[in-house]
């Protein structure tokens, strides 16, 4: 896959490169929307969405435009992808028109195929198994509020989904301790945990939300039913004990933060009291998607 600067998954990076991207994002954020040189003038981003999005869609487009670039949007149904054109051929064609591609899709294999056949950088805007842009924004947000995340304790309570998997990657690369509380049927992550262990990461799995959250610096959750998932009722029943409410937050450190990648299902994985409470930084987290993705775009196109 050559020397192209793809942004596929955090486990593919070394810590120094991820730190460089965060530094770039912070610098771009400090300079403000219009207060910097148009770093990406004349460059075009193609965005492929095979799943719905609000934050990713808007923050990538606004970010690209603020850096002086252009954007083209492709949805699965309004492009030939929906009629069976392969990712490989799509990659070859888009590489002749644009400078960088962001894709949100179900199968991580499609992301890899796109990156393999593109002659331009490819960015992962979420698959069924990861959401690395989100994690970059989350680490940025934590550090803005509380300083370096290395050595801190992060607790996840909920489904072992795509975002949780990226938290595992981030724990290893940024050196924080991660406690995942997930019901047994929804784990599907033994390989990932083996990887974390082999990399010297401190990642633990439990079925007890209280145990995971006790003494944590940060509590995180996400929807119980990710896009494309079935068996919503079964998931709701199994995941109900993992809801983040004020009682669960009280187990964490008094100055612990709460994060959620959004969209939230209020009253399900998180209560209004926590979402709207003083420990919640969910709006800063959403804002930082914009800044961090400008950093990612600038790094990819450097
Ligand atoms: N957090 C996130 O990626 O949100 P969207 O699905 O709205 O893009
Ligand atoms: N886990 C969620 C994240 C949405 C940004 C999903 O995949 O639907």
pLDDT in tens, 55-87: 999 999 999 999 999 999 998 888 999 999 999
Rounded distance between C-alpha atoms, residue 233 and residue 108, angstroms: 26
Is 169 labeled as catalytic in the residue annotation?
Answer: no
**The pLDDT of residue 185:** 65
Rounded distance between C-alpha atoms, residue 273 and residue 5, angstroms: 41
**The pLDDT of residue 2:** 65
**Residue 197 reports pLDDT greater than 90:** yes
Nearest CA to ligand 2 atom 2: 226
Is 260 labeled as catalytic in the residue annotation?
Answer: no
Is 131 labeled as catalytic in the residue annotation?
Answer: yes
What is the rounded average pLDDT of the residues 243-258?
98
**Residue 1 reports pLDDT greater than 50:** no
Nearest CA to ligand 2 atom 7: 226
Q: Which listed residue (261, 291, 293, 300) is catalytic?
A: 261
Quote the radius of gyration of the chain (alpha carbons, Å).
19
Strand partners, 177: 153
Average predicted confidence (pLDDT) for the chain? 95
Rounded distance between C-alpha atoms, residue 108 and residue 9, angstroms: 10
φ/ψ of 236, rounded to 5, equals: -60, -45
Closest approach atom of ligand 2 to CA 225: 8
pLDDT in tens, 102-132: 999 999 999 999 999 999 999 999 999 999 9
Q: What is the model's pTM? A: 0.97
Name, in order, each residue with C-beta under 8 angstroms of 97's C-beta and a sequence gap of 6 or more: 44, 46, 72
**The pLDDT of residue 37:** 74
Rounded distance between C-alpha atoms, residue 214 and residue 185, angstroms: 23
**The pLDDT of residue 54:** 98
pLDDT in tens, 28-42: 999 887 666 789 999
- Asked whether 54 lines ligand 1 (CB < 6 A), one says yes
Q: Could you tell me where the DSSP H helices lie in the chain? A: 15-31, 55-66, 87-97, 108-117, 132-146, 162-174, 190-198, 209-213, 232-239, 246-249, 272-275, 282-300
- Asked whether 162 lines ligand 2 (CB < 6 A), one says yes
pLDDT in tens, 260-277: 999 999 999 999 999 999
Q: Which listed residue (6, 55, 104, 165) is catalytic?
A: 104
What is the rounded average pLDDT of the residues 280-297?
98
């Amino acid at each position: 896959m050559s020397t192209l600067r793809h942004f596929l998954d955090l486990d593919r990076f070394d810590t120094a490169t991820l730190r460089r991207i965060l530094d770039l994002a912070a610098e771009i954020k400090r300079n403000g929307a219009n207060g910097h040189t148009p770093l990406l003038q004349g460059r075009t981003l193609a965005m492929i969405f095979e799943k719905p999005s609000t934050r990713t869609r808007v923050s990538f487009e606004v970010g690209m435009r603020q850096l002086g670039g252009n954007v083209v949007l492709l949805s699965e149904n309004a492009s030939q992808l929906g009629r069976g054109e392969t990712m490989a051929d799509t990659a070859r064609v888009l590489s002749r028109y644009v400078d960088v591609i962001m894709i949100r899709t179900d199968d991580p294999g499609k992301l890899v195929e796109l990156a393999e056949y593109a002659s331009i950088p490819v960015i992962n805007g979420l698959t069924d198994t990861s959401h690395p842009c989100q994690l970059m924004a989350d680490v940025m947000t934590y550090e803005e509020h509380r300083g370096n995340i290395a050595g801190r304790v992060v607790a996840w309570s909920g489904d072992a989904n795509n975002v949780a998997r990226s938290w595992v990657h981030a724990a290893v690369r940024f050196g924080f301790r991660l406690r995942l509380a997930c019901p047994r049927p929804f784990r599907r992550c033994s390989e990932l945990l083996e990887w974390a262990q082999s990399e010297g990461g401190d990642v633990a799995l439990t079925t007890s939300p209280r145990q995971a959250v006790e003494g944590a610096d940060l509590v995180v959750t996400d929807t119980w039913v990710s896009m494309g998932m079935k068996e919503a009722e079964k998931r709701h029943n199994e995941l109900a004990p993992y809801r983040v409410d004020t009682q669960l937050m009280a187990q964490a450190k008094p100055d612990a933060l709460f994060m959620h990648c959004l969209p939230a299902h209020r009253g399900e994985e998180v209560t209004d009291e926590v979402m709207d409470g003083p420990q919640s930084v969910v709006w800063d987290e959403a804002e930082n998607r914009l800044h961090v993705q400008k950093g990612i775009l600038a790094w990819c196109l450097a």
